[in-house]
Amino acid sequence: MKTKDKNLLIYLITPLIITSLFSSSCCFNLNKILEPVEEPTVEFSEETNTSPTAEIDITQEGSDGYYYEKGNPIFLSGSNSIDPDKDELTFVWKIGDGEEILEEETSYVFDNVGEYIIELTVSDGIFSDTTSKSIRIIEPTGLIIPLKEHRGSIEIEYIIENKGPGDLVNVQCRVEVPKTRLPFQIVEECSTNSKNVEELIDDMGNLIYKFSLKDIAEGESASAKVSCDVTIYEFSYKDYSDVSVTTYDPDDKDLELYTKSEKYIDSDSPAIIEAATSIVGDETNPYKIAEKLYNFVTGKLDYDYERLEEIGTYLEKVDASEILKRDKGICMDYSILYAALLRAACIPAKYITGVPIYTIACRTVKNPSLIMHGLKLSCQDMAGYQ
């Protein structure tokens, strides 16, 4: 065959082969393969879902975990409840006489002594789990003697001012709310200046109001304010000298927490240890040790009125060892040094901040607004203080 004829034959055969391929069943199947395939959907049911497990944690400041005082808030948390599928859980508490509370964390005050059942039910929408704990409510120890009652209101306000440059976006502010502490104070009712407030409870059982202040433009300001009606007591202590010496439970979590060194309360400082050892001497009664250390602090420190003037601006705390060296301080310095000396003597001690009776009932009568650490405290109707 001539070369010209061979080329013509190739040109005729090639289109036939291509046509055959695209009209065959292989082409039909290829089109099927190229079509998008839908992912299979998995429907959760009782067969695929796993039940959650409810867990109750109960705390009360000063409680040993076996008995709880009436009149003081008990803090309840279901935050350790678990769901293997990580589904969102709902919480239902049944407390006392059947009262229901629909919160993950809450607080409750028992007004009468006796045995009570606290029940928690958690649900993932399909399954639920219920657990309960029995607690005993007892009378307060009675070592505090109330002397006089004062009624009034306290206003706590944080003011956030944007001095620039630029705008502040999604600003949040958390304010710790005063709470009932019998026999020292009763917080009857609290309100805020905003509707965008969420209630939180921290690891120590403190109630926190979380304010969502949104955006603050440059040059503008916003405030987070809490107002509480309170009853506060002047009080005295019973004589501790006849109280028998007791031992600590070695498994008590507070023993480790409040005897260790921490920021500002540097009880492991050589200067603090030396001072505590010298003051305590051979004394073994913890009440008398505490009294010796108290007398030392009040006798050693002079009140630092210059430092007091820093209130209203940012007032920085200093270490107990530094306070010991300075020989002067304001109220919180006295407390920090005393707490450090107690811990160095193996006596649990906790540093607490607050507004004392004298400040509320006396100073604010003449000056109804007190600025402290950027905190505005207002007091009304504190009558009867002498």
In the chain, CATH 3.10.620.30 covers 259-344
CATH number listed for the domain at residues 57-138? 2.60.40.10
Are the C-beta atoms of residues 265 and 336 closer than 8 Å to each other?
yes
CA dist 335 to 131, 144, 362, Å? 41, 20, 21
- Of the candidate ranges 171-185, 294-308, 319-333, the one whose mean pLDDT is the lowest: 171-185
Are the C-beta atoms of residues 61 and 74 closer than 8 Å to each other?
no
Determine the Cα–Cα distance for residues 222 and 333; give it in Å rounded to an integer: 31
The pLDDT of residue 247: 61
How far is residue 113 CA from its own chain's centroid? 27
CA dist 338 to 54, 277, 352, Å? 42, 14, 12
Tokens of 96: 């006392």
Summarize pLDDT for 69-86 with one digit per residue, the tens.
888 888 899 999 999 988
pLDDT at residue 211 tops 90: yes
pLDDT at residue 251 tops 80: no
Are the C-beta atoms of residues 105 and 85 closer than 8 Å to each other?
no
The pLDDT of residue 22: 38
Overall fold of domain 259-344: C8orf32 fold (3.10.620)
Tell me if residue 311 falls in helix, strand or coil: strand
Q: Which long-range contacts (CB under 8 A, 24 or more apart) does 92-95 make?
A: 92/120, 92/121, 92/122, 92/123, 93/118, 93/119, 93/120, 94/118, 94/119, 94/120, 94/121, 95/119
- Of the candidate ranges 21-25, 75-79, 263-267, the one whose mean pLDDT is the lowest: 21-25
- Percentage of the chain with pLDDT > 70? 73
Are the C-beta atoms of residues 115 and 134 closer than 8 Å to each other?
yes
Rama region for 281: left / alpha / beta (φ>0; ψ in -120 to 50; rest) = left
More confident residue, 128 or 371: 128
CATH number listed for the domain at residues 144-237+376-380? 2.60.40
Residues 6 or more apart whose CB falls under 8 angstroms from that of 251 comprise none
pLDDT at residue 162 tops 80: yes
DSSP state of 371: E
The pLDDT of residue 243: 55
Are the C-beta atoms of residues 182 and 72 closer than 8 Å to each other?
yes
More confident residue, 39 or 10: 39
CA dist 36 to 194, 241, 346, Å? 52, 86, 72
Are the C-beta atoms of residues 172 and 211 closer than 8 Å to each other?
yes
Q: Kindly report the backbone phi and psi dihedral angles of residue 47, in degrees, each rounded to the nearest multiple of 5, phi listed first.
A: -75, -30
Given pLDDT bands bounded at 50, 70 and 90, which one contains residue 43?
A: low
The pLDDT of residue 377: 38
The pLDDT of residue 37: 52
DSSP state of 53: B
pLDDT at residue 301 tops 90: yes
Q: What is the mean pLDDT of the chain?
A: 77
How far is residue 318 CA from its own chain's centroid? 24
Given pLDDT bands bounded at 50, 70 and 90, which one contains residue 372?
A: very low
Start-to-end CA span in the chain (Å): 132
Tokens 């005729």 — which residue? 12
Given pLDDT bands bounded at 50, 70 and 90, which one contains residue 371?
A: very low
How far is residue 54 CA from its own chain's centroid? 21
The secondary element (H helix, E strand) that includes residue 380 is strand 375-380
Question: Does residue 40 have a cis peptide bond before it, meaning omega lies within 30 degrees of 0?
Answer: no
Tokens of 85: 């599928």
Tokens 């480790």 — which residue? 256
The segment with the largest mean pLDDT, out of 41-55, 88-102, 264-278, is: 264-278
Degrees to nearest 5, angle at CA 290 with 289 and 291: 90
pLDDT at residue 272 tops 90: yes
